Amino acid sequence: MSDEENTPQAPGIAAAWAQPEESENAPRRRRGVGPDPMEQLRNWTPKTRLGRMVQSGQIITIDDAFATGMPIREVEIVDALLPGLEDDIINVNMIQRMTDSGRRVRFNVMACVGNKDGYVGLAICKGKEVAATIHKAIINAKINIIQIQRGNGSWESGRGAGTSVPFKVTGRAGSTRITLLPAPTGKGLVIGATGRKVLTLAGVTDVWSRSKGQTRTTINFAKATFNALKQLNAHRITQRDQETLNIVKGRVIE
């Protein structure tokens, strides 16, 4: 075997090159979903230092990419390190504005992506066409992906990998405030439908919640939930508390 075959590769890049090329008789991709990520990885020419490190095999996990401290500016980096991310369109708004030349129509799209196992991203984009704006929102959500902490912060929880939040956290967006509270295993997501989408893609399966402000605003509700998850990474936790609360960062390794 050659040295190139022995060099470790990111899982997405390895899957892209292992996937057979599509034939002419193969079914076409659904309209509006954008180009195939696997094809983009095969034709990828990195433009950033982090991208070149991922393509060369120096970085093969998303945790290693976060540890470098360099910002993620290419969506192919996320596709290479976290293949198979699921996406969900949180909200699509049509914005109409009357100008001297006539009525101007634009679209406002919020998208959320995640692997349902400790990684989630959220973004909002504006554009003139729905399909292009949705694709752009999904790309920005991947670039804004974060790692979250999960744990068993409730006194009713048992041992094992954390499925809830380890402690109370609050996120704010506009006038909306969302407080996430630890819940026992099996309780489910006691939160509004919008926040449930974000938490499901993040891999949180049990949580209590409190809300204040204008919670009917879908965009602010999703942003507040996402900001609450970001606050989990802003706290310093001792090793003893991590073991007591069964805190896991990112994926749950079985």
In a domain, 74, yes or no: yes
Number of domains in the chain: 3
Residue 34: the pLDDT is 63
Q: For the chain, what percentages of helix, strand and coil (3-state, to nearest 5) are there?
A: 35, 25, 40
Distance of alpha carbon 86 from alpha carbon 63, whole angstroms: 19
67 domain-assigned: yes
217 shares its domain with 245: yes
Asked which of 60, 81, 102 is the last residue of a domain, the reply is 81
Residues 98 and 73 in one domain: no
- pLDDT attached to residue 22: 52
β-bridge partners, 246:
none
Q: What is the mean pLDDT of residues 105-114?
A: 94
What is the model's pLDDT at position 1? Answer: 39
Question: Are 66 and 118 members of one domain?
Answer: no
Task: Check pLDDT > 80 for residue 95.
Answer: yes
Do 231 and 190 sit in the same domain of this protein?
yes
Mean of the per-residue pLDDT values for the chain?
A: 86
Is the alpha carbon torsion for 10, 14, 16, 17 positive or negative? positive
Q: Which residue has the higher pLDDT, 98 or 86?
A: 86
User: The domain spanning residue 180 has which CATH number?
Assistant: 3.30.230.10
Report if residue 23 sits inside a domain: no
Shared-domain flag, residues 57 and 94: no
Tracing tokens 């399909």 back to the chain, one arrives at 131
26 has pLDDT over 50 = no
Neighbours of 61 (CB within 10 A): 15
Residue 24 lies in a domain: no
- So what's the pLDDT on residue 199? 95
Domain check: are 45 and 67 in the same one?
yes
Closest CA to 13 of 66, 74, 82, 98: 82
Q: Based on the domain organization, do 99 and 186 belong to the same domain?
A: no
pLDDT band per the 50, 70, 90 thresholds, residue 249: confident
Is residue 2 domain-resident?
no
Residue 135 predicted with pLDDT over 90: yes
Q: What is the CATH number of the domain that holds 107?
A: 3.30.160.20
- Flag whether 22 is in a domain: no
Structure confidence at residue 21 (pLDDT): 57
Instruction: Please give the average per-residue pLDDT across 169-184, as a whole number.
Output: 94
pLDDT, tens digit, for every residue of 30-89?
554 567 778 888 889 999 999 999 999 899 999 999 999 999 999 999 999 998 899 999
155-176 residue pLDDT tens: 777 666 778 999 999 999 999 9
Boundary residue ending a domain (81, 100, 125): 81
Instruction: Let me know whether 126 and 105 are in one domain.
Output: yes
C-alpha angle with apex 130: 102 to 177, nearest 5 degrees?
100
Tell me whether residue 3 is in a domain: no
Residue 171 structural domain: 149-249
Q: What percent of the chain has pLDDT over 70?
A: 88
Instruction: Say yes or no: 217 and 161 in one domain.
Output: yes
Mean pLDDT of 134-161: 86
CA distance 219 to 215: 9
Domain-located, residue 227: yes
pLDDT of residue 84: 86
pLDDT score, position 178 = 96
Confidence band of 205 (pLDDT split at 50, 70, 90): very high
Show contacts of 84-89: CB within 8 Å, 24+ apart.
Answer: 84/115, 85/113, 85/114, 85/115, 85/119, 85/142, 85/145, 86/113, 86/114, 86/115, 86/116, 86/201, 87/111, 87/112, 87/113, 87/138, 87/141, 88/112, 88/113, 88/197, 88/201, 89/134, 89/137
pLDDT digits (tens, 9 = 90+) for 208-245: 999 999 888 999 999 999 999 999 988 888 888 888 87
Residue ending a domain, among 145, 161, 190, is 145
Same domain, 192 and 138: no
Residues 99 and 141 in one domain: yes
Instruction: Check residue 74 and give its pLDDT.
Output: 94
Q: Summarize the confidence of residues 18-38 as an average pLDDT.
A: 59
Say what the pLDDT of residue 234 is.
86
3-state secondary structure of 66: helix
User: Are residues 158 and 123 part of one domain?
Assistant: no
Q: Characterise 188 by phi-psi region: left (phi > 0), alpha (psi -120 to 50), beta (else).
A: left
Going by their DSSP bridges, the two strands 169-173 and 248-249 should be labelled as unpaired
Strands (E), 85-190: 86-99, 102-114, 119-127, 146-147, 149-150, 169-173, 176-181
The first and second tokens of residue 223, run together, are: 């942003």
